[in-house]
Structure 1
Amino acid sequence: MNVLPSTSPPKHVSLLGYGGLLPFIFLALLIPLSLDYRPLFAIALVNYGAVILSFVGALHWGFAMTVHDMSTEQRSDRLIWSVIPALIAWIATLLAMPLGCLLLVIGFVVHLRQDRQLLRVMRLPAWYLPMRLRLTLVASVCLLLAAMVETLHS
């Protein structure tokens, strides 16, 4: 595995990464608890998920621009992939809420797979993939639970 030795993320990385899960968690909890504001919370959840999926896709743009020992083909692959999550996210915002959530989950899971592909191209800190897996799992569970609630209450 092509990883750098650090086993735990810097404290600020953990705070930012895991703190980014709070809107997923709170919105997923508010959707079943609020009849009056459920549509607003559902839209907010899909939109937040879209923003985050776009953000993680942009990481690959940054990698393509800064990693010096990539081949031209590898750099091109990273640049192409980097815009795909934003396109997936945009489409998710145009779909009915349950389908938008499902598409975002698919986008997060496929992006996690792309992050694993990075190990063929560059070295990553040892904490990066485990943290990305945890972030993806929590965000995906929140999106799936909200989609299920929305489907049951429609």
Structure 2
Amino acid sequence: MTRIPTAALTLGLAGLIPFVWGALTMLDPALQAWGVEALGPRFVGPYVLLFYGAIILSFMSGVLWGFATKADGAVAATGYALSVIPALWAFFMTGGGPTHAGISLIAGFVGLLGLDWLFARQGLAPGWWMPLRLLLTAIVVICLAVGVFA
């Protein structure tokens, strides 16, 4: 394992801001009211959690696709096929109301972690990838769980 590059860690943590914000506005009605007034209702509570969660799962499909480009033959073909799963999951599984969508996103991020592990095990992801993904996924899942259970 190698040290997570500062830029990757900083940008990864910055990417958590909408998740943390969404969870905080679920837990604090005064903060949610301020957020609605200042930013609009789409940018607080479950709305930001679910919308941003679907965007990030789709983004991660692109990251995995990039890893697949490092492979050849059947490994590459399998990598390309697996890389589209997070985006398709986000598209098909986030309907049915906020509770169902939140649970589906939690499952999607946990499943994504499995794909991250597979790509890392095949040597297609950098050595620091899994420590970064474990940290980010843990925080994302906690925030989404606040949205589901708060």
State the TM-score, normalizing by the size of structure 1: 0.82
Q: Check if 1:43 corresponds to 2:44.
A: no
User: Could you say which residue in structure 2 is the equivalent of 1:33?
Assistant: 28
Q: CA RMSD in A?
A: 2.0
**Aligned mates of 1:28, 1:92 — CA distance in 2:** 21
Contiguous gaps of at least 5 residues in structure 1: 150-154
How far apart are 1:57 and its partner, in Å?
A: 1.8
Aligned match of 1:55: 59
Report the Cα distance in structure 1 between the residues aligned to 2:53 and 2:91, rounded to whole angstroms: 10
Deviation of residue 123 (structure 1)?
A: 4.8
1:100-147 deviation digits (Å, cap 9, x = unpaired): 111111111111111111134225433210110010000001001111
Q: Which runs of 5+ in 2 are unaligned?
A: none
The residue type paired with residue 57 of structure 1 is S
- In structure 1, what is the equivalent of residue 131 of structure 2? 130
The percentage of counterpart residues that share the same residue type is 34
1:13-58, CA deviations, whole angstroms, 9 ceiling, x for partnerless residues?
1111011111100111102323765x74212210100111111121
1:13 aligns with 2:17: no
Q: Return the alpha-carbon distance in structure 2 between the equivalents of residues 120 and 147 of structure 1.
A: 32
Q: TM-score, normalised by structure 2?
A: 0.84
Distance in 2 separating the partners of 1:91 and 1:30 = 26
Alpha-carbon shift at residue 80 of structure 1 (Å): 0.9
Higher RCO structure, 1 or 2 (CA under 8 Å, sep 6+): 1
Structure 1 consecutive aligned stretches of length 4 or more whose deviation exceeds 6 Å? none
Partner amino acid, structure 2, of 1:11: T
**Which has the higher mean CA deviation after the structures are superposed, 102-111 or 26-35?**
26-35
Amino acid at match of 1:76: A
Partner amino acid, structure 1, of 2:142 = V
Aligned residue identity for 2:82:
W
8 Å contact from structure 1 (residues 91, 100) kept in 2: no
Supply the AA of the counterpart residue of 1:99: H
